[in-house]
Amino acid sequence: MPQRPLKTAELQAVLWDVDGTLAETERDGHRVAFNLAFEALGMPWRWEVADYGVLLQVTGGRERLLHDMARRTDAPATARERLMLVEELHRLKNHFYAEQVRAGAVVLRPGIAVLMGQCAERGVRMAIATTTSRVNVQALLRAQLGSRWASWFEVIVCGEDVRHKKPDPEVYLKVLTGLKLGPLQALAIEDSPGGAAAARAADVPVVVTRSVYFEQAIFDSAIAIGPGLDRRDGWRPALSGEGRDPGDPVSLDDLLDWHAQMDSVSQLA
């Protein structure tokens, strides 16, 4: 299908979340790496798939560890000891996560690379808006996009760059400042209720591409919700099937259309 030209009043930038959005990092990456860190320190703790889904209600790896320790009778007794253990576990987790990524255990979700390529080709700016650690972002995107991965994104804001993690809007406000754009000139792509809430609190419209852990979650005020960027069926609002196969990926033109119609489709749940 012919691509329609961009207009200056249209969408100017796509803001990408990382964990769950770019790749299924939570289930297949971070969770496994945490378990390897526990094992490396001789600890009997293990986070199963379902356990980790509950823990994802807490944003941030360090915060998740502290939350989990609060319920454990074999956790260190003092706050100082817990913080020291958290730092060591998190350091080891990042090491094991990077090893998994390099080994190909974590890859971009289908449709991501295609859509990024369309943005690059047609002058839609891109940014990273995540509260995961920078080292984890670097490990994933270097493995998937190559050594010049950072050149794809004009602004990259990670967990170390903010005081407050999602659902606080700080990460999105910093990205918008870096891009020198207003919130309605951008579009966030997220997978979790907390991430979507962070974008909306910054007045950035959101497209939700559901990840494994949030397949049944309820989202407020997204302009579109669907199962993944690699397919056209299952999206609300429905994507046009004219001249398309249901198995075709979501395109930049689809994002432009959703963005243009945001006032009429912003109350999906």
Q: Catalytic residues, which ones?
A: 17, 19
Q: Which tokens belong to 87?
A: 């730092």
Under a CB-based contact definition with an 8 Å cutoff, are residues 35 and 83 in contact? no
Cα 59–chain centre separation:
12
Under a CB-based contact definition with an 8 Å cutoff, are residues 204 and 16 in contact? no
**What's the CA gap between 174 and 157, in Å, rounded?**
7
**What's the CA gap between 265 and 221, in Å, rounded?**
8
Under a CB-based contact definition with an 8 Å cutoff, are residues 24 and 106 in contact? yes
Radius of gyration of the chain from Cα atoms? 19
**What's the CA gap between 123 and 93, in Å, rounded?**
37
Give the contacts of 132 (CB within 8 A, at least 6 positions apart). 18, 19, 25, 61, 158, 159
